[in-house]
Structure 1
């Protein structure tokens, strides 16, 4: 998800109590008082650093949900087949009802109140969201007690098991529930006849090597899910158009009916999956339709529906680049749904005249005429080149009610259509959707990485800046002749300076901190997005261009459709880079700091070697800041720059150059490839005698 730069303060009506629940101690597994703020051991990765001995649970869902537009509610029944692949006996299941975050009484609302945001705290019925069981869940046919240990927050559910679940065994859990999004948009919403169901079903928590990982949904942090298959039938009014995770195997999603002139006809990819089970019998009221979606190798299912959507589609054709342990489709269906009724829809949002015009632009103008389709194809090409082949039969991008964007497997809910947002959110289909980290515990692994790959795609990273400066060979690379490059360097240097200020003032927090323990949502964003992006920028510089590219592709090939943690990423980088990197990940994930080195005591000596003169330049490099880095040091002569790399594990070291020309300058990081805010202070003039 892309971070939001501002929050709209909404004046809304008064509170209702959360779903009733028995009082329990407000402590969840892995959140006890002594639980580490930052992980100190691997939650999923074996000591070997590879997938040998790796295990994860499996969760397969079958759901039928009927939308009643009059009250904005879905009524649903479903089953979860849960397979215990762990070596432990389980005596309970933990489940999330995340839609209950967007209402009074939730921990999300309490966080908003504490940080001065008014969104859901004072909503009255029917404006707040909810997800409620309409009957007690049944496990293997036996009714179980529903416990809400964080009451009045009801986003976390404990289901005690009457019969323990042994390793290798499975249980079937039957659910019946209703769900309603809120009228205040945040990741989910409803407005008029339009609905964004991002969170809407009882989602089983992850059980990994550390045990159960349930978490209350709060503004900071997102999700962690078990992989499996979804078989979801949506019963909708006949004129609705729906986009979702998965492929529609039966029923009409409505694309052909609302297709824009000139668009390719919808390619539904209904035959993408083999061995699709027979559909269950579904009651379809008069004036409704049933659309069945199948999705495999996913850990979430989301959907959006509106009669106001317009459809544009195409096919993305590519040849698989290598062998993977999962299927690759050579033709990927690309679906885009945006608002043909933008003027009417935006008028319902009670916006100012200028904001309403912007709303129409972000709902219609930016999308139509193939613009959003082109952005999606470009993003797919870029991400396949960066990580590897896209492993799903389709991708759908929908215009959601909320601003910014949120990612789901095979589905992007975006508030606007820009290349940067599409690259960022589709990047999350890889880092979160396929490489499934715990976003609530390690948001830097997906938000930081997707932010950095967005920078790379735009050509705005330090590594690319340094390569351009090296090619230009300007005598003063801090003020390059190319205006665009000069502006980029100034912008990147400003960002590094801002982050250094937060460290100096003591407001920076380690990026590896658990999301709900950051002091504020703003602090969380600054850490997992901005500092996380800087971490990958630094890792790119440490590994070098070719090795960094191989690292990303091997990380993807080895860990796709698995849970990843810091140790999976570190082991891959070490294996590909053929060096130990514990020092790098320790400092960036567990600590705060800056890359700060001092260049001192330069000496120039002229020597005669084999009848030729050489100039020997020596200087002392000393680490001053908290972070280590293989700092580049450069000497300038009449023909250009000579740059060497130093040892990051030495606090004090001697750097030496042997040159065939007289040097006149010694600079620390002349091309600006590092995140050091102080390197500019060490641009030393050398004596020319």
Structure 2
């Protein structure tokens, strides 16, 4: 933080190199005046978030039935040649970008993302949110002198004519943010027509601090090329008129782009191993001590790659399953993390099988997994189409926290290939559709694998200390159940805190867990399959997901209630047992009628009669248990509700082994239940089957009368608390 203040104080001196570069970029020759009939297309709102109106049936060209010539409706094509200088950590790029105007009006300006400029100075939107809002990003690696990175345009032409450009801030961020650039086209793009832009660009990669960059010889090259924004049309994700969805690069936002074709040539020095999105096509070409690799992938919306001369021999495997091509799985890893390679390969193959079975067949021919080297952990836990980075651990023995971390992150990042990749939701505005739903589906897979979170190490295992909790219980720890600050459907940048953004993962997974408990595991899986089949290779909204859940489960009221409480609003769930008693229902003193006469039963006489009856009963029942006797017991339970209305269950267990169960819901702040039975109550438990993980405090859900187990519950709570920090780190990936 002090270093940021120093940069601000130095002002012009430090900003001068950047300012000079910008001036050079803006000095492109003037273009011919645009067609006066060509009107500017507005931006999506700066506070756009959860969509409540379903998309039109024909949005994004309508559902993909499988008989089309291509998997997606390809809107853009990128032909890129990138040359890496691994010493200076720079990339010289030449790009031919072909874009199709899907709208019914001419387009005279387009917008490109320049994501790397988030790391050019402390004055970008990304960095100012960290500084001014005290947002934290994952492990918060500080940016040291010389660690900054940027991207600049050297030349942009349309059909041989120079294109002018200027940086804009669609979300009202600082004027110093250069993550979105506007191109004013010499020739407007007619409705349904395409245009090609020739772009020369240059990247200075940052030291790995957030998702992308270098460490030593290791390079993770992501968010690296000028990437066109999405032109949304009426009926798509709540749009009522054409709009550019092209938000700035916020600290907690990720990405959103059109499907298209990628043909990328990557030139590196000889001796470097390269992995990338898609299939390597043809043999590498060697010239002048450098090697050029060509990777091609269609029907994706992003492209990333890695290069390092320290990678060990790649570990390869394959997946073959119904409806999928033969999928080559490759793991790239540094020698120090050789032990991570086989577990990562197996977790990826298992994920291919699980996601293909429960959602739909994996459609691509490759998956590349990258294990980052030591000191480059911030490169881990990031997803791109057919390519992702996992985590790296020194020791990944089975049933340890490290092994769980490696498996979890591998499964999670692969899962993004479905929720971020194939479904292609808008991660800027509706991150729950990717991060949250993926987190839930990952936990379902881990549950099926019978894999739990083990809070132990090899040394602790040797002494027999190996506590573990279920994955969904771990999610609950990070779900901010006690005082949720933001609705699940809120966008990625309008958040109270980084912790609140983290609930996109864990609170969504917890909410989906609770919905599964209400509608049934099979019903919810049926709904997710419907959602995937209907919206694959399109761009669904939260409203589209909600409608698929309603149709797939057939339970409209249940789905709409949970969306109203948790997705479009923020409602705490907090039910508790406030009072619990079970006392003998003894005769009481006073007048009674006997034989037509009113007789007073005195306390003294009543006490004697009660004592005599107890004595006689014990003589006849010498083996009676505690809580059994000649008189019935009146059991009373008072339940408090300090939050949202959820279907609740109360179960009271009695000394004779019997139980009473009541179901109730409603917004009343309290409910009282009572029974008169021959046996004394032993315990009262809310949510006895663990269906409501959103409840803010599970410890006040249960009461016992005889044995006090509060210390045991506290010990268990302490153990799970020890796991919370680790799990909070995992869910921020």
TM-score (norm 2): 0.69
Counterpart CA distance in 2 for 1:380 and 1:416 is 21
Partner of 1:257: none
Partner of 1:546: 522
1:247 lines up with 2:279 in the alignment: yes
Q: Counterpart of 1:419 in 2: which secondary structure?
A: helix
Match of 1:212 among 224, 244, 261: 244
1:433 lines up with 2:455 in the alignment: no
> Is the 1:449–1:533 Cα contact (8 Å) retained in structure 2?
yes
Aligned in 2, Cα 1:374/1:400: closer, same or farther, shift over 3 Å?
Answer: same
Counterpart CA distance in 2 for 1:657 and 1:451 is 42
1:130 lines up with 2:150 in the alignment: yes
Aligned in 2, Cα 1:539/1:162: closer, same or farther, shift over 3 Å?
Answer: farther
Match of 2:569 among 584, 591, 606: 591
> Is the 2:480–2:500 Cα contact (8 Å) retained in structure 1?
no
Counterpart CA distance in 2 for 1:56 and 1:510 is 32
Give the drift of 1:552: 2.0
1:446-471 per-residue CA deviation (whole Å, 9 max, x = no partner) reads 11222223333333999x99xxxxxx
Counterpart CA distance in 2 for 1:97 and 1:550 is 39
Partner of 2:100: 83
1:29 lines up with 2:43 in the alignment: yes
Match of 1:112 among 122, 130, 143: 130
Q: Counterpart of 2:314 in 1: which secondary structure?
A: strand
Aligned in 2, Cα 1:618/1:214: closer, same or farther, shift over 3 Å?
Answer: farther
Match of 2:164 among 131, 145, 161: 145
Unaligned runs of 5+ in 2: 28-40, 65-71, 170-174, 394-405, 454-463, 583-631, 706-733
1:105-159 per-residue CA deviation (whole Å, 9 max, x = no partner) reads 32222223222878676634xx421111111x22344322111013422110111
> Is the 2:646–2:666 Cα contact (8 Å) retained in structure 1?
yes
Aligned in 2, Cα 1:493/1:203: closer, same or farther, shift over 3 Å?
Answer: closer
1:311 lines up with 2:293 in the alignment: no
> Equivalences for 1:415-454 in 2 at 5 Å?
415-416=391-392, 418-454=406-442
Q: Counterpart of 1:582 in 2: which secondary structure?
A: helix
Counterpart CA distance in 2 for 1:176 and 1:400 is 29
Question: What is the aligned-residue RMSD (CA, Å)?
Answer: 4.4
Counterpart CA distance in 1 for 2:580 and 2:385 is 55
1:621-677 per-residue CA deviation (whole Å, 9 max, x = no partner) reads 988344332223435465676767556799999999999999875532112221223
Counterpart CA distance in 2 for 1:633 and 1:157 is 58
Counterpart CA distance in 2 for 1:620 and 1:162 is 76
Partner of 2:609: none
Aligned in 2, Cα 1:48/1:200: closer, same or farther, shift over 3 Å?
Answer: closer
> Equivalences for 1:279-298 in 2 at 5 Å?
285-298=287-300
1:177 lines up with 2:201 in the alignment: yes
Aligned in 2, Cα 1:493/1:530: closer, same or farther, shift over 3 Å?
Answer: closer
Partner of 1:582: 560
Q: Counterpart of 1:392 in 2: which secondary structure?
A: coil
Q: Counterpart of 1:158 in 2: which secondary structure?
A: strand
Aligned in 2, Cα 1:123/1:216: closer, same or farther, shift over 3 Å?
Answer: farther
> Equivalences for 1:279-678 in 2 at 5 Å?
285-320=287-322, 328-329=324-325, 331-340=326-335, 360=336, 363-367=337-341, 370-400=342-372, 402-403=376-377, 404-416=380-392, 418-459=406-447, 488=469, 492=473, 495=476, 499-503=480-484, 508-525=485-502, 527-580=503-556, 581-597=559-575, 624-636=641-653, 646=664, 666-674=684-692, 675-678=694-697
Counterpart CA distance in 2 for 1:85 and 1:456 is 38
Aligned in 2, Cα 1:594/1:190: closer, same or farther, shift over 3 Å?
Answer: same
Match of 2:189 among 158, 165, 187: 165
Q: Counterpart of 2:207 in 1: which secondary structure?
A: coil
Q: Counterpart of 2:486 in 1: which secondary structure?
A: coil
Partner of 2:119: 102
> Is the 1:251–1:289 Cα contact (8 Å) retained in structure 2?
no
Counterpart CA distance in 1 for 2:547 and 2:687 is 28
Counterpart CA distance in 2 for 1:394 and 1:488 is 34
Q: Counterpart of 1:548 in 2: which secondary structure?
A: helix
1:365-384 per-residue CA deviation (whole Å, 9 max, x = no partner) reads 323xx333223222323333
Aligned in 2, Cα 1:214/1:494: closer, same or farther, shift over 3 Å?
Answer: closer
Counterpart CA distance in 1 for 2:303 and 2:442 is 25
Aligned in 2, Cα 1:28/1:46: closer, same or farther, shift over 3 Å?
Answer: closer
Question: Which has the greater radius of gyration?
Answer: 2
Aligned in 2, Cα 1:589/1:658: closer, same or farther, shift over 3 Å?
Answer: farther
1:145-199 per-residue CA deviation (whole Å, 9 max, x = no partner) reads 1110134221101112344434322211221111121124321112333211011
Aligned in 2, Cα 1:20/1:644: closer, same or farther, shift over 3 Å?
Answer: farther
Report the number of matched residues. 581
Q: Counterpart of 1:176 in 2: which secondary structure?
A: strand
Give the drift of 1:530: 2.4
Aligned in 2, Cα 1:67/1:287: closer, same or farther, shift over 3 Å?
Answer: same
> Is the 1:103–1:120 Cα contact (8 Å) retained in structure 2?
no
> Is the 1:92–1:159 Cα contact (8 Å) retained in structure 2?
yes
